[in-house]
Chains A and B, each alone.
Chain A
Amino acid sequence: MNEPRALLNLNHLSKTYGSNRVLDNFDLTIFDGEFFTLLGPSGCGKTTVLRMIAGLEDTDTGSIQLDGQDIGQVPAEKRPINTVFQSYALFPHMTVFDNVAFGLRMSGVAKEEIAPRVAEALEMVRLGDFAQRKPAQLSGGQQQRVAIARAVVNRPKLLLLDESLSALDYKLRQQMQIELKRLQRKLGITFVYVTHDQEEALSMSDRVVVMNKGKVQQLGTPREIYEQPANLFVAKFIGEINQLDGEIVAVDGNHEYEVKVEGLQWRLHAEHNFKAGDKVNVLLRPEDVRVEYIDDPHPDQYLVGEVVERNYKGKTLDSLIRLPSGIEVIASEFFDEDDPSFDYSLNQKVAIKWVPGWEVVLPHEV
């Protein structure tokens, strides 16, 4: 695979509203042709970054380069970038056709070229028959697709999507996720997607940046971010995670440590460098936790807990298990067709373990 080409460079972007620092020395490089997601809780600055790229928001400091050209001073209407807004922002007084044709007309595309290009864009989002409708006559999902068509018809270098699916209901959102991904592959346009929905981010993106309080928390592929969270914030924001307290007892070299967790000593792997006596957090995804009947033979050591809650989720059975220390651990298990007795009763004592190496050990944070 050849080296990805940088399409967009954000250098040291900062923005302050009053006393609120929305963006703090923010750096980012987005590659040509990728599906990139800015993920974070509301107020983390992700939408501000998007609006800065679009040119709808000024930067206090820093520069924005597109294709090596500084576009910081270029007004929004002159940037080869289009946005799909959260509110769709379709023009209510224009038909679907005129909405989609707006950008082409503004850039002076020849009249006879407009109709076929609009038709093509509408066909792409499967709204070919709706050209003469007004936005108010469309459903939310259809309006969403018009907004996408209106943006991609201009063949931008970069397509920005601002929480574009958040107004749709669950089923439709899932469907649109697949469609967006398909569209992005087909068009080869670089997509920059903003969302607070970690599931959406993981399933659609090539790369994700997790943001909090105007700063990058972690940048990586969805898999890296889910499996190797860089800090507690990322670990907790992306999916559910169990957090156990531990202490480094001994360093075995090569990132192997003896760690005391819940009164037992475990041999764990960690990317960070620790020394004996360091407090750590040992993090476990619910689906990595193994629950076994305590009467079964156990070759390895295990923790003992008491089942305090059982949630049937259809695909999985989620059990909430309280450890003697009072910490509660969620275990998410797939049903085993071969094991009809797979179920626990409340207050039942069970054995808890996990596949060695699937835990994440991070420096202790409160």
Chain B
Amino acid sequence: MKSSVGQFRFWAIGLASVWLTLFVFFPNLLVILTSFLTRDPQATVSLPINADSYVRTLDLLYLQVLWDSLRMSLLAMVFCLVVGYPFAMAIVSLPKRWQPVIVFLVILPFWTNSLVRTYAIQFILGNQGIINKALLGLGLIDKPLQLLYTQFAVILGLCYILLPFMVLPLYSALEKLDVRLHHAAKDLGAGPLSRFWHITVPLTSPGIVAGCLMVLLPAMGMFYISDLLGGAKNLLLGNVIKTQFLHTRDWPFGSAFSVILIVLLGFMLWLYFRASRFVSKQGGLNGSDF
């Protein structure tokens, strides 16, 4: 008995470890190594080892891209949170048997390639798109609004693609929230807003942080969104990396950006674990700062 369970565990963990080593650890190691090599037109990369690529990322131009993509991703995150929280609350307030149906509908768009869905947004926002045609038809505007190829379009695209990643962790946090705590707060004189602020928000903070990270982290790298919706000016960090690898063929420089992105995301994940441990172990936010 014990040996068969032990064997299963051995193979399961063993396979996962081999998989992760081969396809996650080594590639990342290669990226890190590449970032310290020198660009070579013939062999793609060559020695000597140096940190030139990192020095070059400090260029104002790239810092601007970093700042822009961070800002757009943060805006997308905030927007997803503002839309996703009430939405998740609405799902939780439904009868239990309807909740999985709605969650399924939230996940459903994943079955269509996100590239295709991004093209669809292009058709909606374009100068000949639905919105402009409708507004022109109604006589509200004289010439088409520039909706496509703006920061707004990029943020909208990010929100559209990433909203489910916000809704799902929020839903799971809200669903676990003990309704009896709400009754207790009500009994102690807390109105709807106070209950939301003092009970719901602090107790779902792990879900809020998780959702925010699930939106923020991928948003920084979603180059095809800004390619299709942002034009040449509204770049995400992912666009820079893509360009270095596919067009400029400067692998060390692209790798250096990748490493920076990974470190950035790793730092945010670390913050998340700090936050969730804080909440679960100590019970989280202190109520004394009412």
Residues of chain A whose beta carbon lies under 8 Å from any beta carbon of chain B = 54-56, 75-78, 81-83, 85, 87, 89-95, 97-99, 101-103, 105-107, 134-136, 150-151, 154
Please give, as numbers and ranges, the residues of chain B lying within 8 Å of A75 by CB-CB distance.
186
Please give, as numbers and ranges, the residues of chain A lying within 8 Å of B178 by CB-CB distance.
89
Contact, CB under 8 Å: B180 / A154: no
Size of B's binding interface in residues, CB under 8 A: 26
Q: Say yes or no: is B48 at the interface (Cβ < 8 Å to chain A).
A: no
Q: Say yes or no: is B191 at the interface (Cβ < 8 Å to chain A).
A: yes
Contact, CB under 8 Å: A77 / B189: yes
A107 to B190, CA, bound (A): 8
A91 to B199, CA, bound (A): 8
Jot down 28 A-B pairs with beta carbons below 8 A, ordered by A: A56-B186, A75-B186, A76-B186, A76-B187, A77-B186, A77-B187, A77-B188, A78-B189, A83-B184, A85-B180, A85-B187, A89-B178, A89-B184, A90-B184, A91-B181, A92-B203, A93-B279, A95-B283, A97-B288, A98-B286, A102-B188, A102-B190, A103-B189, A106-B190, A106-B194, A134-B283, A135-B283, A151-B188
Please give, as numbers and ranges, the residues of chain B lying within 8 Å of A97 by CB-CB distance.
288
A75 to B202, CA, bound (A): 24
> Who on chain A is nearest to B191 by CB?
A77
Q: Say yes or no: is B285 at the interface (Cβ < 8 Å to chain A).
A: yes
A20 to B146, CA, bound (A): 61
Question: Knowing that A87-B180, A94-B286 are A-B contacts, what are 13 other residue pairs whose CB atoms are under 8 Å apart, sorted by A's residue number?
Answer: A77-B190, A77-B191, A83-B187, A85-B187, A91-B184, A91-B185, A91-B287, A95-B287, A99-B287, A134-B283, A136-B283, A154-B188, A154-B189
Within 8 A of A (CB), among B248-290: 279, 282-288, 290
Q: Say yes or no: is B143 at the interface (Cβ < 8 Å to chain A).
A: no
Within 8 A of A (CB), among B145-196: 178, 180-181, 183-191, 194
User: In angstroms, how far is the closest chain A Cβ from the Cβ of B200?
Assistant: 11
Of B178, B187, B189, B290, most buried by chain A (CB within 10 Å of CB) is B187
Assess A134 versus B187: contact at CB under 8 Å? Given A89-B181, A95-B287: no
Please encode chain B, from 211 to 232, with 1 for each CB lying within 8 Å of some chain A CB and 0 for all others. Answer: 0000000000000000000000
> Who on chain B is nearest to A94 by CB?
B287
Number of residue pairs across A and B with beta carbons under 8 Å? 86
Contact, CB under 8 Å: B183 / A106: no
A82 to B283, CA, bound (A): 24
A54 to B184, CA, bound (A): 10
Pick from A87, A93, A151, A154: contact of B283, CB under 8 Å: A93
A351 to B234, CA, bound (A): 102
Contact, CB under 8 Å: A102 / B287: yes
Please give, as numbers and ranges, the residues of chain A lying within 8 Å of B286 by CB-CB distance.
94-95, 98
Which A-B residue pairs are the 7 nearest by beta carbons?
Answer: A98-B287, A89-B184, A103-B188, A106-B189, A94-B287, A134-B283, A93-B284
Please give, as numbers and ranges, the residues of chain A lying within 8 Å of B189 by CB-CB distance.
77-78, 103, 106-107, 154
Contact, CB under 8 Å: A93 / B287: yes
> Who on chain B is nearest to A107 by CB?
B189
> Who on chain B is nearest to A99 by CB?
B287
User: In angstroms, how far is the closest chain A Cβ from the Cβ of B273?
Assistant: 18
> Who on chain B is nearest to A89 by CB?
B184
